[in-house]
Amino acid sequence: MESSCEQILKWTEKVLNGGELTEEEARALIRTRDEDTMLLLACADKIRQKFSGRSVDLCAIINARSGSCQEDCKFCAQSARYNTGVKTYKFLPEDEVIEAAKRAKKAGAARFDIVTAGRDQRNPKDFAEILDLIRRIRKEVGIEVCCSLGFLTQEQAYQLKEAGISRLHCNIESAPSFFKEVCTTHTAEEKAENVARAQKAGIRVCCGGIIGLGESLDQRVEMAFHLKEMHIDAVPLNVLNPIPGTPFEHNKRLSPLEILRSFAMFRFVLPKAQIRTAGGRQINLRSLQSMALAGGMNGVMIGNYLTSKGSDPQDDIAMLHDLGRTQTAPNLN
């Protein structure tokens, strides 16, 4: 019988040679023992090196419309159903968003994501401003523009493409089999349909989720393979930061090693994807934050998150440079 280390090395060679992990193999991989985790991370990083090189894609976000969301996502501080004390406001003035984009570029980000709370874009004035902002930021700031806007119509997707959006962000949050435990006001199927509308319009989709919601290890594997089936090549991975007032406020935190093993599994399943460490990394990975980049990740969200503070971007850039990595430049073609 093969040892755990022998299995990891065998699966690494399989992926490096163009093969694909099976779900059964991924379920075993994510259960790697603590004492073998450093080997797993090194192997995940070999896969990253082969398919993605040394560059790290940095992005920053702005919460352009905050709170008062009628959806019931149990992790979210912005749901109107929970008493979280989150700041609420309508769509920010365009010039304020432009200035935030300039700060993001100066800090080193290659892309800037406009995020709006709420199920969809029913307000035509807000959506027109979003289209205008995409054009203005590309022209005036010279940074890629992404958007996270909830559910879109097909026509809205085409309009975003015409305006020059780089990527549409729409997380599936978790495995389809666990989704009903996360949200009841929309479904996993609706999420997948929204992604498909963006892809039909020719928009690249940034789609990932959150680990630590209460899902099983097997359901994390299920999520990774669901993303693979959806042909997603940009995957943000968040770790739950339990927000007081939300139904998930008392969820047990994951250990840093379990988080890193989960991240590594995503790299094995999605060897060519841009996999980004995002919300919750500071509070959950703590002193092992750099191990995410040394364990297969090639993207980092810098600056503040939607409703919580992040790191100083210069500290994150120093971290990736200390690891011998480079920053991706904006691509406006």
Amino acid letter for position 119: R
Q: Are 219 and 195 in contact (CB under 8 A)?
A: no
276 belongs to an annotated ligand binding site: yes
Cα separation, 320 vs 326, in Å, equals 7
73 belongs to an annotated ligand binding site: yes
Three-state DSSP string of 49-60: HHHHCCEEEEEE
Cα separation, 112 vs 128, in Å, equals 18
Closest CA to 214 of 309, 317, 326, 74: 74
Cα separation, 233 vs 271, in Å, equals 9
Cα separation, 250 vs 227, in Å, equals 28
Q: Supply 96's token pair.
A: 């304020």
Q: Supply 119's token pair.
A: 């199920």
For 235, the 3-state DSSP assignment is strand
Q: Are 112 and 143 in contact (CB under 8 A)?
A: yes
Closest CA to 165 of 111, 235, 234: 111
Binding residues for [2Fe-2S] cluster: 146, 206, 276
Q: Report the binding-site residues for [4Fe-4S] cluster.
A: 69, 73, 76
Binding-site positions: 69, 73, 76, 146, 206, 276
